[in-house]
Homo-oligomer: A and B are copies of this chain.
Amino acid sequence: LLPGLQRHRVASGEQVFDWTVPPEWNIRAGHLRTEDGTTVVDFCNNNLHVLGYSEPVDCWVTLDELQGHLHSLPEQPDWIPYVTSYYRKNWGFCMTHRQRATLKPGRYRAFIDSTLQPGFLDYADLVLQGRESSEVLFSTYVCHPSMANNELSGPAVVAALAQHVANLSSRRYTYRFVFIPETIGSIVYLSRSLTHLKERLAAGFVVTCAGDDRAYSYVPSRLGSTLADRVARHALRHHAPDYVAYSFLERGSDERQYCSPGVDLPVCSVMRTKYGVYPEYHTSADNLELVTASGLCGAFEVYRKIITLLENNYGYRVTVQCEPQLGKRGLYPNTSTKSSGELVKDLMNVIAYADGRDLVELADTVGLSGIDVINIIQPLLQNRLLEVI
């Protein structure tokens, strides 16, 4: 699928910064049945039915005893919630609140055939070399792919971006695509690459919730004005001007680790509707009705523009003093009329601010999209009226 993708693993028990890699959880089966053998919920039908990271259990319990192990959403009675218990041993079942309300007094058999044993945390990455050793990072998480927007959409969009970047005829930056479990995965990844990334990372993005077709969203880096932030905001302002800009206080994914104090990598997040904000989040309704082709394409498209901007985000400087004479180079209308001044206004504004500032700042200054400025710049570069610095 992605040539060059490398798989890695770390063993349970390994110390990574303040954390310990947890035991590996595997589950073969899980169901809840009534005394007469009727199945209430079964992991085979929907893997959300078993509380994530449940320890093995096989026991008979009364309904009263069972209630403490059940999870449902009274206000969203038709959806199964997604619940986990990573760091406290527990077991449980999740179901719609409507189903839970039909449970009758009596004895139930809770059966979960799982293991929680020393094993491995698996993750993968793909590095595509560019002309420069400076890197651009796309990080996404693979820990609960049975839900669609959060979080199969992230790996899907990152895989598409990797293919896009692999097909570029020339690459300025080296690109790094990372597929990890959330939180502990990014902590593991940083524990192995922090020095490398501190030295080389130009811009990074946490790609998540990239598939629905409602909003565009942005969570800044902790520092707020890194290259990643500048390019992301510029791309969004021109691609989706009504995007929702959250504060870093509203973060919730791996930018928590990438941007923690002292780590402070230039990593922000561009999303469609943000985790926690849409009602289907972390429920069975986060499915392929919510995630659409146009939703995924929209996220892909913004990131594609971000890549184009980054690849062209050099400083540009005019090579002559005073305005260049564009007419003799065929870049200026020859007859001066009342409106001809307007015709070359954008061109002259780009020249006027080509004082070494980079593409994004130049575009922001002259009020154009960076993509438009790239087109304006080309003939000026060809005529050696601009130089790259």
Chain A residues near B (Cβ < 8 Å):
17-20, 52, 71, 73, 81, 83-88, 90, 183, 186-187, 190-191, 194, 222, 248-249, 251-252, 256-257, 259-263, 276, 281-283, 317-318, 320-325, 327-328, 332, 334-338, 341, 345, 348-349, 351-356, 366-367
Contacts and interface: CB of A to CB of B under 8 A. Distances in A.
B81 A261 contact: no
Given A18-B320, A86-B336, A261-B352, 9 more contacts: A85-B335, A88-B327, A90-B335, A187-B322, A187-B323, A256-B323, A256-B348, A262-B321, A263-B322
| Most chain B beta-carbon contacts within 10 A, residue among A19, A187, A351 | A19
Contacts of A355: 261-262
Given A263-B321, A321-B260, A71 B367 contact: no
Contact of A83 (B317, B337, B366): B337
B18 A260 contact: no
A261 B194 contact: no
Contacts of A320: 17-18
A345 B259 CA distance: 16
Contact of A88 (B19, B81, B334): B334
Contacts of A323: 18, 183, 187, 256-257, 260
Contacts of A348: 256
Copies of chain A in the complex? 3
Contacts of A73: 338
Nearest to A258: B322
Given A88-B335, A334-B85, A338-B81, A194 B18 contact: no
A362 B84 CA distance: 32
Contact of A256 (B19, B251, B281, B352): B352
A367 B85 contact: no
> 7 closest A-B pairs (Cβ-Cβ)?
A88-B334, A261-B355, A18-B320, A87-B327, A18-B324, A257-B322, A17-B322
A235 to B, nearest CB: 22
A186 B322 CA distance: 9
Contacts of A83: 335-337
A352 B222 contact: yes
A366 B249 contact: yes
A259 B323 CA distance: 10
